[in-house]
Amino acid sequence: MWKEMMKEFIETNSNIRLNNPSTDEKIRNIENVLSLNLPSDLKNMLLEFDGDGWLLLSADQIIEINEMLRELVEFMPLDCFLFIARNGCGDYYGYPITKQGIKDNEIFIWDHEYDNRSFVAGGLKELINNYYLEKL
């Protein structure tokens, strides 16, 4: 499903390069390191391709970026998001994390310049479509 969806975007953006699929072990590692359960859409995407070299982070990058952003002290806390994508300008896209868990039907962008957090998509598929169709 995810690779098929990405085909049209790959045809128009030569920077997109789907990585080889991730592994169940790497996905469990994300969940263990960040102490959360990944949304099924994200898991399924990572098992089809481990990031796209442009927007979508790989399993290793998800850990690296989330740990890095959680260490920042000059902003409001960022541990209330699971960041999964970036725009290339220093801003990141992520699912909100609540006491009930990750809200997989909401994705926000965190603006690093103003420390703003804004709703941008109703899930991973909508984020990908909106980003690559230049609606964000």
The CATH code of the domain that includes 113 is 3.40.1580.10
pLDDT at 7: 95
H helices present in 1-136, as ranges: 2-12, 24-34, 40-48, 59-71, 124-132
pTM above 0.85, yes or no: yes
Domain count along the chain: 1
Convert the pLDDT of each residue in 110-133 to its tens digit.
999 999 999 999 999 999 999 999
Domain residue limits at 17: 2-132
Convert the pLDDT of each residue in 37-54 to its tens digit.
999 999 999 999 999 999
The whole-angstrom separation of Cα 136 and Cα 131 is 5
**Is-contact 86 92, C-beta < 8 A?**
yes
Nearest to 87 by CA among 130, 46, 123, 45: 130
| 83's tokens | 């960041």
Q: How far is CA 89 from CA 2, 45, 47, 85, 103, in A?
A: 25, 23, 27, 12, 25
| 55's tokens | 């927007």
pLDDT above 70: percentage of residues in the chain: 100
CB atoms near residue 108 (< 10 Å): 21
SS3 content of the chain, % helix, strand, coil (to 5): 40, 20, 40
